[in-house]
A and B are shown apart, each in its own frame.
Chain A
Amino acid sequence: MSQRKDKPVPLTPPRDEQAEAAFSLWLQRGLHKLFDEVANEPIPEELLKIIEEDRRK
């Protein structure tokens, strides 16, 4: 093995990494809360009608 044991493996990620990960998780949850409702709303009838009319052409 060419790699030597001169580089200690950290048991826990550095504080910055923890903060980054926590912010990422928070951001992900927040964005889902902000946008999921919009995605899950029923499709307007008018829009479906346009698509179905075009399909029948």
Chain B
Amino acid sequence: MSSAVPFHDQVIAILPKLRVQALALTRNRAAAEDLVQDAVCNALSAQDSFIPGTNFAAWMHRILRNRFISNLRKRRDTTDIDDVPSSVFATDASHEDRLALKELGAAMTRLPTDQREALVMVVVHGMSYEALADATGCAVGTAKSRVFRARRQLEAWLVGEVPGRDAPRLGRLADRKAEAKPSSGPASSL
């Protein structure tokens, strides 16, 4: 059980997930690293307030989230860039796959922060809606709704079925993929 694991070991163990959450929130790798470090420092300072046997992951994710919000209030600069590591796009994936991944990265940056965070925590971390609600301090229904709306918005942008401000640009992805791969693979879903 996590309560038997020393506090500092729990902090180290959750660092990869904190990084992912931080990147989802900040959209910037350097800012994400800073945010994780700040959150860890906050957690270390507040370790006496953690009740052993309670949900450590949720406690830690909330600290990071609160720190992000607090930083945002101080400094309202959001980098509107696709800050996905370039190596992701330099894999042996096909040209079409790389383009699709790049489009996905760009679309992710345009999602509202709470939706982007929720989607990543559920899809990448495999977190339950209950755990997400606990980690982000919202109702389970709100957590579900955030994931649902994020997913629908991405689908609308990337598939281009729902007309919107950005749909025409991103909708080209569907056209390109349809031209390149008329009938096979995941691309056909786009």
Is there an interface contact between A23 and B20, defined as CB atoms closer than 8 Å? no
A16–chain B nearest beta-carbon distance, Å: 11
Is there an interface contact between B154 and A27, defined as CB atoms closer than 8 Å? yes
Interface size on B, residues (CB 8 A): 41
Interface size on A, residues (CB 8 A): 31
A54 to B112, CA, bound (A): 35
- Chain B residues near A39: list those with CB within 8 A: 16-17, 19-20, 124
Is there an interface contact between A37 and B123, defined as CB atoms closer than 8 Å? no
Is there an interface contact between A34 and B101, defined as CB atoms closer than 8 Å? yes
Is there an interface contact between B189 and A22, defined as CB atoms closer than 8 Å? yes
A52 to B8, CA, bound (A): 8
- Chain A residues near B189: list those with CB within 8 A: 19, 22-23, 25-26
Which residues of A24-52 are within 8 A (CB) of B? 24-41, 43-44, 46-48, 50-52
Residue of A nearest to B36 (CB): A47
- Chain B residues near A46: list those with CB within 8 A: 37
A7 proximal to B (CB < 8 A): no
Which of B20, B91, B108, B188 lies in contact with A22, CB distance below 8 A? B188
Q: Which residues of A contact B (CB under 8 A)?
A: 19, 22-41, 43-44, 46-48, 50-52, 54-55
